[in-house]
């Protein structure tokens, strides 16, 4: 028998006004939202500001955080089934979990405290009993505590899926099919800095074909994130918020 569920969107809307008591907060924090819904964090000290930023991010982007974490850890197929396996295999081979752990261990005490306090703010939102985004209910997923390593994971996943990996493999396939002379004529000479650099002890695979096919399969479930025609964003700081008074 098919299961019937009722869905109430209002039950998943975060509370954006009033006062909330949370544990682990170094000092009081005020999160003010402007007419565009953008949060502005006002805090008595830097640690509290990072905590507030994490809390505000959880209000707006908790499911997005979960998405990045599962992609980077190679656990997306737990949500979407077999269609997520190619991407999970690719990300696990990148060993991002180990890389994130190593990055956190290499941080200075000050930087690590920033990441950990931000993560504490994310978790405080959930611990306060605030509503989870609807995707958690639709997928029957619970929330696992956010960590400093997970913060780093967001950066690494964005780098992996928005960098030049697919473009490099496409050029490699073109080189294989067209030959060096045609490639040099149409593509020109690559500027320094984007060539593949092998790690110490690394070797060049004798065949790239399996890798190309794997990445092509993994890119299939990335949607527009796999596009080479993507853009970026930019932001500016008003002079009233800078020490010089200039934007």
Residue count (the chain): 247
Q: Which of 19, 23, 232, 234 is catalytic?
A: 232
Check if 240 is active-site. no
What six digits make up the tokens of 58? 């959880």
Cα–Cα distance for residue pair 139/73, rounded to 1 Å: 18
Is residue 24 left, alpha or beta, with left meaning phi > 0 and alpha meaning psi from -120 to 50? left
For residue 143, give both structure tokens. Answer: 């929330």
3-state secondary structure of 107: coil
CB–CB of 92/71 below 8 Å?
no
Distance of alpha carbon 66 from alpha carbon 154, whole angstroms = 10
Round to whole Å and give the CA distance between 230 and 202. 31
Query: Among candidates 180, 179, 189, 158, which has minimal Cα distance to 71?
Result: 158
The residues that are catalytic are 232
């Amino acid at each position: 028998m098919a299961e019937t569920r009722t869905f109430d969107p209002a039950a998943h809307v975060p509370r954006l006004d009033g006062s909330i008591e949370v544990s682990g907060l170094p000092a009081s924090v005020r999160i003010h939202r402007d007419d565009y819904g953008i949060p502005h964090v006002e805090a008595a000290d830097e640690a509290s500001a990072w905590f507030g930023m994490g809390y505000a991010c959880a209000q707006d982007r908790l499911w997005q955080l979960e998405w990045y974490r599962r992609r980077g850890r190679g656990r997306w197929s737990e949500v979407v089934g077999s269609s997520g396996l190619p991407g999970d295999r690719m990300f696990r081979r990148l060993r991002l979990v180990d890389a994130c752990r190593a990055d956190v261990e290499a941080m200075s005490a000050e930087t690590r405290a920033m990441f950990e306090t931000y993560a504490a703010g994310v978790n405080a939102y959930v611990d306060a009993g605030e509503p989870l985004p609807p995707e958690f209910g639709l997928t029957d997923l619970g929330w696992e505590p956010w960590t400093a390593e997970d913060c780093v994971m967001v950066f690494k996943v964005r780098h992996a899926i928005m960098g030049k990996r697919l473009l490099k493999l496409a050029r490699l396939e073109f080189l294989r099919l067209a030959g060096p002379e045609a490639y040099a004529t149409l593509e020109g000479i690559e500027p320094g800095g984007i060539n593949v650099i092998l790690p110490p002890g690394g070797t060049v695979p004798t065949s790239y074909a399996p890798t190309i096919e794997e990445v092509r399969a993994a890119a299939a479930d990335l949607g527009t994130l796999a596009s080479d025609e993507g853009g970026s964003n930019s932001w500016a700081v008003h002079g009233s918020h800078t020490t010089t008074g200039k934007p």
